[in-house]
Structure formats: structure tokens, C-alpha cells
Structure 1
Amino acid sequence: MARAADTVKKTRPPIAPLDAIDRVQQVSEALANYIAHTDMQTGERLPAERELMEALGVGRSTIREVIGRFQALGVMETRKGSGTYLLKPISSATIHMPLMLNTSGLRDALLQTLEVRRGLEVEAAVMAARRRTPEDLKDIEAKLNEMERVHLSKGTSGPEDLLFHLAIYDATHNPLFRQLLEQMREAFERFWSRPFDRPDFARRSFPFHRTLFNAIVAQDTEAARRETLKILDVVEDDIKEMSR
């Protein structure tokens, strides 16, 4: 006779549903597959934005974000008034997957990402100070002025702060800086999305963005390094303080 315990049906937790696939990642893979299956070659023009929107069933902002990421990776180029062109043949198998952190805590994710930011941004600031052109300085200053405008009117600056740092990356004239950022975009963007629901996060770093710009203008590499570290030290202090 079977034991009573053997006849009792075990209760198991339900299988958790899968998260929705990221729309940008879906479109990236679909576009890469299209390029591979049609044997598109370097120099050929991609379908127009409207055609991609209709074929993939997504909005213009999604298409532009995907194209922007491919541009940052150096495989596409958009020419004003002409369209987007392929610079290097790609497929879904050759697209770099974004680097992700497997951590449940925001504090740990931010601190780990900050370690990478410190290495990248200090070196980027030094390279920008050495290599910046007059056009680079105009771009960086425009981004800084907008960041300061938003900060003074709202008390915080999110995307504007990110755009300032991206302009410095571009001033290095080394595309790998931008490519590395694109690979870690989701992790990096946590710093500009009101972490800990605090609009005042890293607010104390605000003045050092102007002094960093001044160092780049003066081509003072040591000052650029120093001012970048001041910004990131404030960020680290706020992560530790706000996560207690």
C-alpha cells in the first residue's frame, strides 16, 4: 500500500513568465538579419525611416535609437538629406550584446558601474584635452550650457548631463569610447535616471563640469583628470549616502 505522503500531489510554484523582449533589441536584430539575408554591402543605402517603421511596426523614435546605436558602433552612417548607409556588413551573430550586471541591488550596480566609468571617463577627459578641436569645444560648451540651464531652472539635469559626457567622448576622436558606452548604455543611464528617487543625486558635482570644460579648453590633461575624479567622487559619496 502506498504511503499517504506519496499520494499527495506536490504543490509547486508557477513558472514565472518571461519579461517582454526589449523593443530596441528586437529591431536591432531584425535589421541586422535583413542586412545579412539581403547580402547588403558596404556603401549601400538602408531602407528609409518610414519604410522601416511600417515593416517593423515601431515608431520613429525606436528606429532612430537603433540607427544611433549602430552609428556609435561604427557600422552605419547617416548622411543629411540622403539617408543611412552601411559602413560594415553585419548580422545578428556579429552584433555585440550589451554588457549587463546581474545584481539585485541598485547600490551595488551603481558602484560596480562607477568603477568602469572612472576608468573610461578619466582617460576620455585626458584624451579630449589633448585632441579637442575648435568644433569639439563648441559642441562640449553647447551641451554644458544646456546642462547648466536645465540645472538652474529645475535643480537637476539628467539627459543633458549625459550628453555633456558623450561630447567629451567624441572629442577623444577614438570611436571605441563611444562603442564601449553603447555596450553599457543601460547600466550607465542609471546615473541619470533619478537613482534612489532623488532628483538631487550628485547635485554637488555640478560646478566641476564647468571646471572640467575649462581644463579641456586649456589642454591641461592633469586638470582634466582631477576635475573628472571630483565629479565621480561626488557620485560615489552620494551612492553610499543615499543607499544607507
Structure 2
Amino acid sequence: MTLAVPSQVNSLELRRLARPKALEVAVLESLVEFIDRAAINPGGRLPSERVLCEALGVGRSTLREALKRWETLGIIERRQGSGVYLRVKVGTNLVHVPLVLAKPSNVRSLLQILQVRRALEGEAAALCASSASDATVAKIGDALETMETAHAAGDGSEADWQFHQTLYHATGNPFFPQIISSMRDLLHQLWENTLKLPDFAAASFPFHRTMYEAIRARDPDTARAEAWKLIDSVEREIREAFPEESQS
């Protein structure tokens, strides 16, 4: 037997559920305008929660819920004891695409992530070679030198990540860095060497420079091929270390 529920109760509950969602969107839209007026660029720190609440005219819990959405999309980053930092550009004409992805739990999952990265990185390198400005290509070179210096000092993982971020931004296509930022936690499973392989990905290191040299030479086909070699060397290393787990 089904109990009848008065229509006015249903409508009240629907309004109650919908309101926070609409409010969250309104808060984020206002926050975009605030960031634009304050000229906060990626890497910059957002004002404190108190300042933002006063500026936007909302309570702290409402602000936190809105910021959680941005954090999930990789738009902001919370740093313990430091504050909230903007990771990617926001604007009224920009759309940030949410990716719903499961954390990699095994070798096969990591290999699947590499497949996605291979496709993205190959095209990003080719785009940079064909259309990036000389100044933008120079930024890729600067990031490469920083990475090589860090690598020579024994810890280049973060500089390596920044090099690839620079590459994606250099495409001039905002979807590349957005997608990669959304996948940051997944991709860092590779940079953090969760499989505990000795000298993991060392064989891929020289391909960073050959990829860059192809970009600088304005050779998109070679840039794409060198990017693929970089990813393929990592995939080969994983498959050789875990032959059984790597089987399709």
C-alpha cells in the first residue's frame, strides 16, 4: 500500500533541495566577477573566507560548499596553513568541465591513464610546434631547464609536472590544461611512483628535450612522435615489471 503525500509537501521539499544548488551557482558566478575585478591570476591566493563572505554577502558554510565544487574541478587548491590558491583561469566566458574518474587501483588502471595522457600529450606537443608563439615556446624551454636542473639535484618530480603543465597551457586551447588539472590526482599516481619501481620513468627523461627541440624547430609530426616515445617508455617499463597484471 502506498501512502499519499500531500502535494504541498512535495513542492516544499523540491524547493528546499533546489535552493542550495541555485545559490551555489550564484555564489560561484559572483566569485568569478570578484576574481576578475581583483585581477587574481592562476597561482595567486584568494582572500580569506571572512573577506570573501563579506564581499559576496553570503555565510561561511555557503561559501565553503561553493569552493568545494571548484576544488573538485581542480580550479582551486587548498594549502594547509597557507590558504586557497587559484590553479586555472576563471571567467564568465570559460566553462570548466567536471571529470568523474575512479582512482587507479592497479597496474591496468595506470596503463589506462597513460593511454589518455599519450593522446593528449601528443596533440599538445604538435599544437605547440605548429601554432605557439616564440615567447610561449621559450617558456616551455625555461620549464625544461628548470626540470633538468631539479632532476640533476635528485628530485625533479614537481618540476617535471610543471613542465608538462607549461606544455598544455602553451597550446592556447584552455581545455587541455582544464582536463589535465581535473586529472591531477590521478596523474600524480605516476609521478609519485605508487608502484615503487626503482628509477621509475628515468628512461623517459631524454624525450622531454627531444620533444621540446621538435617544438622549437616547428616540426609538429616529430614533436608528437617524441611525446609518444616519452609515454611509451613509461608504459613499457610498467609492462615489463608487471607482465601478468598488464594483460588486457
Structure 1 residues 72-131: Cα deviation after superposition (integer angstroms, max 9, x where no partner): xxxx2xxxxxxxxxx2299xxx964443136531x1221010111111111111001001
Judged with a 3 Å threshold, the aligned counterparts in structure 2 of structure 1 residues 39 and 166 are, in CA distance, closer, same or farther, namely: closer
The CA RMSD over aligned residues, in Å, is: 3.2
Q: Take 2:27 and 2:226, find their aligned partners in 1: how far apart are those partners? A: 48
The runs of at least 4 consecutive aligned structure 1 residues that moved more than 6 Å come to none
Structure-1 residue corresponding to 2:26: 36
Q: Take 1:38 and 1:227, find their aligned partners in 2: how far apart are those partners? A: 40
Aligned residue among 63, 75, 79 for 2:84: 63
Aligned-pair CA distance for 1:241: 2.5
User: Is the aligned partner of 1:150 residue 2:150?
Assistant: yes
Name stretches of at least 5 consecutive residues in structure 2 with no aligned partner.
1-19, 39-44, 52-59, 65-77, 244-248
- TM-score normalised to structure 1 length: 0.67
Contact 1:132 1:172 in 2 (8 A): yes
- TM-score normalised to structure 2 length: 0.66
Q: Take 2:83 and 2:101, find their aligned partners in 1: how far apart are those partners? A: 21
Q: Take 1:172 and 1:62, find their aligned partners in 2: how far apart are those partners? A: 29
User: Is the aligned partner of 1:49 residue 2:40?
Assistant: no
Contact 1:101 1:109 in 2 (8 A): no
Aligned-pair CA distance for 1:40: 2.0
Q: Take 2:49 and 2:201, find their aligned partners in 1: how far apart are those partners? A: 39
Residue identity over aligned pairs, in percent, reads: 31
Structure-1 residue corresponding to 2:219: 220
Judged with a 3 Å threshold, the aligned counterparts in structure 2 of structure 1 residues 238 and 61 are, in CA distance, closer, same or farther, namely: farther
Across the two proteins, how many residue pairs are aligned to each other?
192
Structure-1 residue corresponding to 2:139: 139
Moved more, 40-49 or 115-124: 40-49
Name stretches of at least 5 consecutive residues in structure 1 with no aligned partner.
1-29, 77-86
Contact 2:143 2:162 in 1 (8 A): yes
Q: Take 2:112 and 2:167, find their aligned partners in 1: how far apart are those partners? A: 22
Structure-2 residue corresponding to 1:5: none
Letter in 2 for 1:147: M
Structure-2 residue corresponding to 1:88: 92
Aligned-pair CA distance for 1:38: 8.3
